Amino acid sequence: MEIIYNISNKYDIMDLLSIVVPCYNEEESVEIFLREIQKVLKDRSFEVIFINDGSADDTLKKIKDLADENANVNYISFSRNFGKEAAIYAGLNYAKGDMVCLMDADLQHPPSMLPQMISAIEEENYDVAAARRITRKGEPKIKSFFSHRYYRFFNRISKIEIVEGGTDYRVMTRQVVDAILQLEEYNRFTKGLFQWVGFETKWIEYENVERAAGETTWSFLGLIAYSIEGIVAFSTMPLTLAIIIGTIVSIVAFGYMIFIIAKYLLYSDPVQGFATTMCAILLLGGLQLLFIGTLGKYLEKTYFETKNRPIFIVKETNIKDSD
């Protein structure tokens, strides 16, 4: 990093920018990605850190080649697939920049937005500049619908506010990165963690872009599981809900019991109410399973946290541990 003394700006133009790029089976994208970044950032000092998240294709070879050809390109390769959240955490750990940018390898995060994001931090003194997708072009309507509902529900039941359409594409100051690195939890719902640390964020809007190459790793079921992870990681509302619903059901059941006893005493008709019995059993059985499952989900998270396993394991890297 070249140091130029300049007291008028919080961040000087020559500050090093680290670009962290999680890659899972992105052999077709990484090179195009780097070319685009080089084009956009030709006037400033930056490093790129590719994280090979256990790709099954030639991603590692491709990023090694890029690292050989370009002095400012680094790579970290995991021992297996640990997931994007782990890759982000690893990248932030290894990044040396005064500012760090997170970006997908598939060019769905337009590099052309970078100058604007950087200037939001350098000129407007924001701590974070993040991209917000405003259209969901090329996405099924049903997915957008559920996603919209989910954001509203999440924000209602958790103390943090996640922004609809907010992506992981962001530039952060060193201070924000250090704050995120302090959150060493194993279950990493990054969207939530970014909001949890606070700081001033400027949201910059953009239109959805289709993948440059390769395929998305998200399935519909995967997204549902991810949504549940998010709620469990940032809210204990489902547990409170279990108590509230349990209480209401108990009160109603108690009232109904009094009614049945009174009816029996007044009219003594013992063998009626098969339908009622069945309904009660099925409804209560369902509720019980649902809440046991909810409880189990929290227990599962606690279980994995207490194991204290590392978030990722590096097999090889060209980054020397100097700090």
Determine, following the binding rule CB under 5 A, whether residue 26 of this chain makes contact with Mg ion: no
Determine, following the binding rule CB under 6 A, whether residue 216 of this chain makes contact with ligand UDP: yes
294, 238 contact by CB (below 8 A): yes
* Per-residue 3-state assignment (H helix, E strand, C coil) for the chain: CCCCCCCCCCCCCCCCEEEEEEECCCCCCHHHHHHHHHHHCCCCCEEEEEEECCCCCCHHHHHHHHHHHCCCEEEEEECCCCCHHHHHHHHHHHCCCCEEEECCCCCCCCHHHHHHHHHHHHCCCCCEEEEEECCCCCCCHHHHHHHHHHHHHHHHHCCCCCCCCEEEEEEEEHHHHHHHHHCCCCCCCHHHHHHHCCCCEEEEEECCCCCCCCCCCCCHHHHHHHHHHHHHHHCCHHHHHHHHHHHHHHHHHHHHHHHHHHHHHHHCCCCCCHHHHHHHHHHHHHHHHHHHHHHHHHHHHHHHHHHCCCCCCEEEECCCCCC
Determine, following the binding rule CB under 6 A, whether residue 170 of this chain makes contact with ligand UDP: no
Select the span of 9-17, 210-218, 229-237, 306-314 touching ligand UDP (CB under 6 A): 210-218
Q: 41-60: which residues touch ligand UDP (CB under 6 A)?
A: 53
- Closest to 288 measured CA to CA, from 249, 231, 233: 249
Select the span of 68-76, 97-105, 114-122, 249-257 touching Mg ion (CB under 5 A): 97-105
State in Å, rounded, how far the first CA of the chain is from the last one: 15
* Nearest residue (CB) to Mg ion, 205 versus 316: 205
Structure-token pair, residue 106: 């598939």
Rounded distance between C-alpha atoms, residue 67 and residue 44, angstroms:
18
Supply the minimum distance, in Å, between the C-beta of residue 64 and ligand UDP: 16
* Nearest residue (CB) to Mg ion, 31 versus 200: 31
Determine, following the binding rule CB under 6 A, whether residue 144 of this chain makes contact with ligand UDP: no
Determine, following the binding rule CB under 5 A, whether residue 108 of this chain makes contact with Mg ion: yes
Which one of 34, 87, 176, 232 is in contact with ligand UDP (CB under 6 A)?
87
Determine, following the binding rule CB under 6 A, whether residue 24 of this chain makes contact with ligand UDP: yes
Which one of 62, 84, 191, 202 is in contact with ligand UDP (CB under 6 A)?
84
Determine, following the binding rule CB under 6 A, whether residue 27 of this chain makes contact with ligand UDP: no
Determine, following the binding rule CB under 5 A, whether residue 106 of this chain makes contact with Mg ion: yes
Determine, following the binding rule CB under 6 A, whether residue 108 of this chain makes contact with ligand UDP: yes
Neighbours of 179 (CB within 10 A): 18
- Residue 235 near which of ligand UDP, Mg ion, none (CB within 5-8 Å, type-dependent): none
Select the span of 64-72, 80-88, 112-120, 315-323 touching ligand UDP (CB under 6 A): 80-88
* Nearest residue (CB) to Mg ion, 23 versus 232: 23
Supply the minimum distance, in Å, between the C-beta of residue 219 and ligand UDP: 10
Select the span of 21-29, 42-50, 101-109, 153-161 touching Mg ion (CB under 5 A): 101-109
- Angle, helices 30-40 vs 59-69, to 10°: value is 30
> Could you tell me how many residues of this chain bind Mg ion (CB under 5 A)?
3
Supply the minimum distance, in Å, between the C-beta of residue 262 and ligand UDP: 59
Select the span of 10-18, 104-112, 148-156, 188-196 touching ligand UDP (CB under 6 A): 104-112
Which one of 16, 20, 23, 41 is in contact with ligand UDP (CB under 6 A)?
23
Q: Return residues touching ligand UDP (CB under 6 A).
A: 22-24, 26, 53, 81, 83-84, 87, 104-106, 108, 216-218
Kindly list the residues in this chain that would bind Mg ion in the complex (CB under 5 A): 104, 106, 108
